Structure 1
């Protein structure tokens, strides 16, 4: 399946599911980002690895992803943008949603 066909299929799925978007500003441009519950693990992995183009293609509204790439934002601008998205989503920026390790050590038997 080509990327364009996959993007169209994803857009149709989002429309059918009524995917909600969070609106956040990147510079002076407002972009729509899927709510984090709609992200696939690969989107978060791309974001953590700094692959912003791949992240944008999956996490942003299909019309906003190319705009994100065209804006060619700085790392500071992207960090502020993603922090705003996470704050609006009720997440704490910079914190993983995964479980933390226990502070107690277990004894090996």
Structure 2
């Protein structure tokens, strides 16, 4: 017996109708990028040079997946200010310097990238059945 696609279609349509439409401002694409970029960067030193980077709390998960997959250049293109990407490539930092750069970016953004303040669950005793 085939599933009825109509209820799902109704839910999607109802969800779309319940959201208020926000009028789009008359801004060019370049202006929108400038507005988006303004104030979203912190300045962090790497190999004696100041670079502007988006704080880690504002990174998209897709950016973090790039970093976790080892695609550092693609990651950097997304989180650094466009004017600083070439300088980053020229600096050719070590892994330790890069790691410290990311930690410093987190601290500049007001967060710590260290261990979670949550209690460790490994210390809990397990109840036997």
TM-score when scaled to structure 1?
A: 0.68
Quote how far apart the aligned CAs of 1:85 are: 0.4
Quote how far apart the aligned CAs of 1:76 are: 0.8
Matched, 1:25 2:45: yes
Quote how far apart the aligned CAs of 1:49 are: 2.9
The answer for unaligned runs of 5 or more in structure 2 is 1-28
**Stretch moving more, 75-84 or 37-46:** 37-46
Quote how far apart the aligned CAs of 1:16 are: 2.1
Match of 2:102 in 1: 82
The answer for unaligned runs of 5 or more in structure 1 is 1-8
Structure 1 segment 45-60 matched on structure 2, within 5 A: 45-60=65-80
TM-score when scaled to structure 2?
A: 0.59
2:52/2:80 contact within 8 Å kept: yes
Aligned residues: 96
Q: Choose from 63, 68, 90 the match for 1:70.
A: 90
1:83/1:93 contact within 8 Å kept: yes
CA 1:76–1:67 in 2, change beyond 3 Å: closer, same or farther?
same
Matched, 1:41 2:61: yes
Q: Choose 1 or 2 for highest CA Rg.
A: 2
